[in-house]
Structures are given as structure tokens and as C-alpha cells.
Amino acid sequence: MTATALHDPACRRCPRLADFLDGVRAQRADYFAAPVPGFGPPGGRLLIVGLAPGMHGANRTGRPFTGDYAGLLLYRGLHALGFASAPESLAAGDGLQLFDCRIANAVKCLPPANKPLPEEISTCNAFLRAELAQLPPGGVVLALGHIAHQAVLRALGEKPSRFRFAHSARHPLPGGRWLVDSYHTSRYNVQTGRIDAAMFTAALASARDLIEPAP
């Protein structure tokens, strides 16, 4: 991996994750079961950062937040605000397009029990750093969840303790960029009422409103 690489499809830098994917691939030959690349045009002024691929979502389809519950609020909101060509993301070949927006994860490989270890988040941070390097001045990062929030700040060389995570919180970053926080759009968070469609749309609209117009 070079300093500017966005993705390494053969990455095995985290032995636990690589071994786990080997097992998934052996049991589910039709699953993507590999490091999941970002989705959307590099250099888009909105970068959405999630946690990691879900077993039957991105790990199955090969596209972030695609084919599982976590993508429902996300893509509906993106479509409503003009960032996506359709309100659903069903499969990597469904023709969905993102406009001025890119989606990535803090960890590119499926973790057991959906819980990456701290050292795995740290190892994968170089890929997130490369994603952030593509974000133009005046761009905005929308972090879905506390772990994504911290991973973004570490990738930028900032101290996470200086930036308190809270839903819809807005944090100025160097280069005229911004970090906006949102609770993750996971099934658990939706079913427990931590986040709903109105809350997510509000956070997304807040991020959109901070994006500086293109010159």
C-alpha cells in the first residue's frame, strides 16, 4: 500500500480479520468477503464515514451500506438531499450513483460480532487518511458513530479528546473543512429509538449546509 492508496483488495494486515474473512468466504462463496472499497467519486465534498462492513450488507455486496438495514436511512437521506440517484442501495450493480459524495468505513473488513479491535482500527487508519486527503477545502465529513468520529480525527492528526461526539455536533477542521457527527444508522440504533429518519436527515442537512460552494 502506498501513502495515497484508497484500497488494497488483498490486504491481510489484520490477521484476525483476514482469517475471519477466509472462513466467511469458505462458507459463503457468493459473498464479496474481502476488504470493501469506498463508494462514490473521490474528491466529493461530502465524505461519510461508517464503522465497518456488515456481514450481510457490504460484506455480501461489496459496497458500503448496501443490502442491509443500516443503509435504509442513509440512502433515503442522501437521495432526498440530492446526493444519490435513488433512495435504495440494493446491490453493487444496481446503477446507483452518488453525486459530490463518497462513503467509506473506518475499518474495511468485516469484524467478528461487528466489533473491530482498537489495533485493527488503527491499522486501517491509513486508508481513511487517504480518503480524507481527497476531501477538498470546504468539504465536510459526516461520521456515523463515535468510533468513526475518533478514527477521522486520528487520521487527521487531531486529538479526539478535543472534539466531543454528539449527534449533529459540528467541529471545524483545518483547511476550512468540517466534521459533523451522527448516531450510526444501524438496526439497533433505529429500533431502540436512538436515531430516526428525521434525526439523520437533520444531521445530513447540517453537513450539506456547511459545504462551501465549488469555485
The answer to whether residue 131 is domain-embedded is yes
Task: List the beta strands (DSSP E) in the chain.
Answer: 46-50, 101-105, 140-144, 170-173, 177-182
The answer to whether residue 6 is domain-embedded is no
The answer to whether residue 31 is domain-embedded is no
In the prediction, which pLDDT does 1 show? 40
The answer to whether residue 25 is domain-embedded is no
Backbone dihedral region of 40: left (phi > 0), alpha (psi from -120 to 50 degrees) or beta?
Answer: left
- The answer to whether residue 4 scores a pLDDT higher than 60 is no
- The answer to whether residue 199 scores a pLDDT higher than 70 is yes
In this structure, what C-alpha cell is assigned to residue 53?
Answer: 462492513
The answer to whether residue 73 is domain-embedded is yes
The answer to whether residue 136 is domain-embedded is yes
CA angle, 123 then 21 then 149, to 5°: 40
In the prediction, which pLDDT does 214 show? 67
CATH number at residue 115: 3.40.470.10
Q: What is the percent of the chain where pLDDT is above 70? A: 97
Q: What is the percent of the chain where pLDDT is above 90? A: 94
pLDDT digits (tens, 9 = 90+) for 165-195: 999 999 999 889 999 999 999 999 999 999 9
pLDDT band for 5, please (50, 70, 90 cuts).
Answer: confident
- The answer to whether residue 135 scores a pLDDT higher than 50 is yes
Structural domains in the chain (count): 1
Q: What mean pLDDT value characterizes the chain?
A: 95
pLDDT band for 60, please (50, 70, 90 cuts).
Answer: very high
C-alpha–C-alpha distance, residues 106 and 151, integer Å: 6
Backbone dihedral region of 56: left (phi > 0), alpha (psi from -120 to 50 degrees) or beta?
Answer: alpha
Do residues 68 and 57 make contact, with C-beta atoms less than 8 angstroms apart? yes
With CA atoms as reference, report the closest residue to 48 among 163, 161, 206, 195.
206
In the prediction, which pLDDT does 209 show? 96
- The answer to whether residue 2 scores a pLDDT higher than 80 is no
Average of per-residue pLDDT across 28-57:
97
The answer to whether residue 55 is domain-embedded is yes
The answer to whether residue 17 is domain-embedded is no
- The answer to whether residue 3 scores a pLDDT higher than 80 is no
Range of the domain at 67: 36-210
